[in-house]
């Protein structure tokens, strides 16, 4: 290369210029080295700060992490190098928020926004989500846009905020009243439910002590115990009576807890309560219904058992006896049936009051149901007082009851047992008192009777009887005997009463008076009664076809048979048709009590029998309770005068007057009369003279087996002699002429 210069001046100028440029280049190089040193220092400082930061620090460029500090990587369970090498920005963004993040990056890189601050959910390496707060700024690195920012894990803070928010919602919207007080019980704040329950606005109670609600129902000891628990263990829970602003007293279920400062001193007392007044009232009603008789307000069967157990425990502890009395009102059913249930209820209430007036305040009078009552006389220092109380009860209950302006008389039967002499267990005491009460009834009512061991034997015998009775029908142990019913004018036997007999394989012949009540109590009378009907129907079919075409057999029926599930009259009538028998071949005997109990079912069955021609006889007439009114309601064919009126029949006697009145009344109503229990010729003649149609009794014959009864069925058989017949006809004619 060849260079030429015009002059040394040019060379000098050129050299100067070169030296100047070299100087400048040197200076530039120096500056560059200085900047690089500064950058290195700045980068080192940035890294030092970033790596020691308690928040996540990141730089994002082209949707990838160019830098993350250890805290940032830790937040997402990555290693820093791993996160910068393989994790994109959207990889840590929750799926439902990716669109928002993408749009935010676009706005930031386009310059629409310079800085960002937001809260989002981010996804960790294992896919779980955390809450984050992000601060970011736009910058350029290597000539390209980038974002530098910091990130905080705010999951716990968000949870705390949510919890606080929920607590605020609960506090403001809870149906339970809430009150916060300081350490000494001064109210700091209350929630809306507090105002709704108590009626007090916040400004009326804040600054006051909690005792502003005191009702005065609790004594000082109650509050001392409550605060002793609060100060000792930090909390108390219980029911407390408080007073509303309007003065109304209410009961609340209150819980008081304590919040403490870090040093252990009391910070706040928090009370939470609900108004349980209605619930307590409902519980009280339910409890009362479960434990007290709704009519008399006496303890019921359930509470009686509880009281008896308590009193037994007390008597055992005090080594003193107690007495248990079982009481049953005599004649109550008659009053209830004739005067109505409303009157019966009033009678029960008055009887309960009288019983309560006869005992001490510490004793228990209970109603078990119906007309049955019990009395517990506890911790007796003198057992003789029991008899005095029982006699007082007998006297009090025989005094007249005024019910709807009508004077009503009843009595009571009382059974008495003693603890521990008679028994020590509840069930045994109850059983003993019950047996003693029934023994009192058997003695004629309006009696008291103490339990005796013999009653247990009687009860045991009854249990055996029930057991054996169940197998008697299947074992073919029953048979029917027949007692003639004699025409008192002609002496002919056109009728008979069928009477059941039980031939026990071990005990021999058992009286119907012994087993029929048991059969009624157990319901076995229904099956037995059906057997009696079918046996009697078969027998009358034989006698009518062979010897006496118009013969009739009457059978006794029980009130139990007429109840639901008893007599199926369609089956009975169908059975007569199959035997070719008319309805009047059978008569059924019913009692006055059945007529008094006659509901729709009883009436329908009686009418069905009458429609089929089956005749109805009213047995034991005159021994019931005012049955005259019932005779008008039912078609009765025969009245049977009870043997109690016949037994002492004498000329001019009251019994004769009663028999004559019954006969005249029956004939006026179109009924015939059968007298039971005739044992003497005088009784027969007096009844015949009074116009009685038929007679029945030992004078004519005891009940006999069907084979023996054949003798009464001869066509020319007369149970009266010719002279007796003539006498009967003359006496009757004279009586008719006398009565005009």
- pLDDT tens, position by position, 199-234: 999 999 999 988 889 999 999 999 999 999 999 999
Decide which of 72 and 722 is more confident: 72
Rg (CA), the chain: 54
- pLDDT category at 733 given cuts 50, 70, 90 is very low
The percent of residues in the chain predicted with pLDDT above 90, rounded, is 50
pLDDT tens-digit map of 151-160: 899 888 888 7
CA 692 to chain centre: 58
Give the pLDDT of residue 405: 78
Range of lowest pLDDT (100-109, 370-379, 399-408): 100-109
Domain boundaries, the chain: 1-52, 54-158, 174-281, 296-451, 480-739
Give the pLDDT of residue 636: 87
Give the pLDDT of residue 697: 95
pLDDT tens-digit map of 54-94: 788 888 888 889 899 989 899 999 999 999 988 888 888 88
Number of other residues whose CB lies within 10 A of the CB of residue 628: 9
Give the Cα separation of 193 and 275 in Å (integer): 10
**pTM to 2 decimal places:** 0.49
pLDDT tens-digit map of 373-396: 999 999 999 999 999 999 999 999
pLDDT tens-digit map of 323-356: 999 999 988 887 887 788 889 999 999 999 999 9
Q: Are the CB atoms for 688 and 487 separated by under 8 Å?
A: no
Decide which of 534 and 53 is more confident: 534
626 has a pLDDT exceeding 50:
no
Range of lowest pLDDT (60-64, 270-274, 430-434, 596-600): 596-600
Range of lowest pLDDT (260-264, 358-362, 458-462, 547-551): 458-462
- pLDDT category at 727 given cuts 50, 70, 90 is low
Give the pLDDT of residue 734: 46
Would you state the torsion angle of the CA atoms of residues 605, 606, 608, 609, taken in this order, to the nearest 10 degrees? 120
Give the pLDDT of residue 138: 81
Give the pLDDT of residue 28: 55
Give the pLDDT of residue 624: 58
22 has a pLDDT exceeding 70:
no
Give the pLDDT of residue 596: 65
Burial 133-147 (b: 16+ CB within 10 A, else e): bbebebeeeeeebbb
Q: Are the CB atoms for 666 and 708 separated by under 8 Å?
A: no
Superfamily of domain 54-158: PAS domain (3.30.450.20)
Q: Are the CB atoms for 559 and 595 separated by under 8 Å?
A: no
Give the pLDDT of residue 539: 96
Give the Cα separation of 727 and 733 in Å (integer): 10
Q: Where does 296-451 sit in CATH, by number?
A: 3.30.70.270
Give the pLDDT of residue 5: 41
Give the pLDDT of residue 563: 73
Q: Please, what is the average pLDDT of the chain?
A: 85
Q: Where does 174-281 sit in CATH, by number?
A: 3.30.450.20
Fold of 480-739: TIM Barrel (3.20.20)
Decide which of 721 and 334 is more confident: 334
pLDDT tens-digit map of 137-154: 888 888 888 888 888 998
For residue 332, which of 406, 393, 409 has the smallest C-alpha distance? 409
Give the Cα separation of 573 and 535 in Å (integer): 14
617 has a pLDDT exceeding 70:
yes
Say whether 174-281 and 54-158 share the same fold. yes
Give the Cα separation of 449 and 291 in Å (integer): 29
């Amino acid at each position: 290369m060849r260079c030429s210069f015009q002059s040394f001046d040019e060379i000098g100028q050129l050299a100067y210029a070169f030296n100047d440029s070299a100087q400048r280049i040197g200076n530039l190089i120096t500056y560059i080295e200085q900047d690089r040193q500064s950058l290195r220092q700045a980068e080192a400082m940035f890294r030092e700060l970033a790596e020691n930061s308690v928040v996540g620090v990141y730089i994002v460029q082209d949707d990838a992490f160019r830098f993350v500090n250890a805290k940032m990587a830790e937040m997402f369970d990555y290693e820093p190098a791993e996160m910068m090498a393989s994790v994109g920005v959207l990889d840590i963004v929750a799926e439902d928020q990716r669109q928002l993040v993408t749009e935010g990056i676009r706005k930031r890189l386009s310059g629409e926004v310079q800085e960002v601050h937001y809260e989002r959910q981010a996804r960790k390496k294992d896919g779980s989500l955390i809450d984050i707060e992000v601060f970011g700024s736009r910058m350029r690195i290597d000539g390209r846009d980038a974002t530098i920012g910091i990130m905080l894990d705010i999951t716990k803070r968000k949870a705390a905020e949510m919890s606080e928010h929920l607590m605020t919602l609960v506090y403001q919207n809870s149906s339970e009243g809430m009150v916060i007080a300081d350490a000494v019980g001064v109210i700091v704040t209350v929630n809306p439910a507090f105002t709704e329950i108590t009626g007090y606005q916040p400004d009326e109670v804040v600054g006051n002590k909690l005792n502003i609600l005191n009702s005065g129902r609790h004594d000082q000891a109650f509050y001392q115990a409550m605060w002793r628990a609060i100060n000792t263990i930090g909390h108390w829970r219980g029911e407390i009576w408080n007073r509303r602003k309007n003065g109304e007293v209410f009961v609340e279920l209150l819980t008081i807890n304590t919040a403490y400062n870090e040093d252990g001193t009391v910070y706040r007392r928090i009370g939470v309560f609900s108004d349980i007044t209605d619930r307590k009232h409902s519980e009280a009603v339910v409890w009362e219904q479960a434990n007290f008789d709704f009519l008399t307000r006496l303890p019921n069967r359930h509470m009686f058992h509880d009281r008896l157990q308590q009193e037994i425990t007390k008597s055992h502890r005090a080594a003193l006896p107690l007495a248990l009395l079982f009481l049953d009102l005599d004649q109550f059913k008659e009053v209830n049936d004739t005067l109505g249930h409303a009157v019966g209820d009033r009678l029960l209430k008055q009887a309960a009051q009288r019983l309560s007036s006869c005992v001490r305040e510490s004793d228990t009078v209970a109603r078990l149901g119906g007309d049955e009552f019990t009395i517990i006389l506890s911790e007796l220092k003198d057992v003789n007082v029991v008899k005095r109380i029982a006699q007082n009860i007998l006297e009090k209950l025989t005094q007249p009851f005024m019910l709807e302006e009508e004077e009503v008389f009843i009595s009571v039967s009382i059974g008495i047992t003693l603890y521990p002499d008679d028994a020590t267990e509840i069930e045994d005491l109850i059983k003993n008192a019950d047996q003693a009460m029934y023994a009192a009834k058997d003695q004629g009512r309006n009696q008291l009777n103490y339990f005796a061991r013999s009653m247990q034997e009687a009860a045991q015998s009854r249990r055996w009887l029930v057991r054996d009775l169940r197998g008697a029908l299947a074992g073919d142990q029953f048979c029917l005997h027949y007692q003639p019913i004699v025409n008192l004018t002609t002496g002919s036997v056109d009728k008979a009463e069928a009477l059941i007999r039980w031939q026990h394989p071990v005990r021999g012949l058992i009286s119907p008076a012994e087993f029929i009540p048991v059969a009624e109590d157990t319901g076995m009378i229904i099956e037995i009664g059906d057997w009696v009907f079918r046996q009697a129907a078969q027998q009358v079919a034989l006698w009518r076809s062979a010897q006496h075409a118009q013969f009739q057999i009457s059978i006794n029926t029980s009130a139990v048979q007429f109840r639901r599930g008893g007599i199926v009259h369609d089956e009975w009538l169908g059975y007569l048709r199959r035997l070719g028998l008319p309805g009047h071949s059978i008569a059924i005997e019913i009692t006055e009590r059945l007529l008094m109990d006659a509901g729709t079912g009883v009436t329908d069955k009686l009418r069905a029998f009458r429609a089929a021609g089956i005749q109805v006889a009213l047995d034991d007439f005159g021994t019931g309770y005012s049955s005259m009114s019932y005779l008008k309601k039912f078609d009765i064919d025969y009245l049977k005068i009870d043997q109690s009126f016949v037994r002492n029949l004498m000329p001019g006697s009251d019994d004769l007057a009663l028999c004559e009145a019954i006969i005249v009344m029956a004939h006026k109503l179109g009924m015939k009369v059968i007298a039971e229990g005739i044992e003497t010729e005088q009784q027969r003649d007096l009844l015949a003279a009074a116009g009685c149609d038929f007679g029945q009794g030992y004078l004519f014959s005891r009940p006999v087996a069907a084979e023996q009864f054949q003798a009464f069925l001869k066509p020319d058989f007369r149970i009266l002699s010719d002279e007796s017949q003539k006498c009967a006809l003359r006496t009757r004619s004279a009586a008719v002429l006398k009565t005009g």
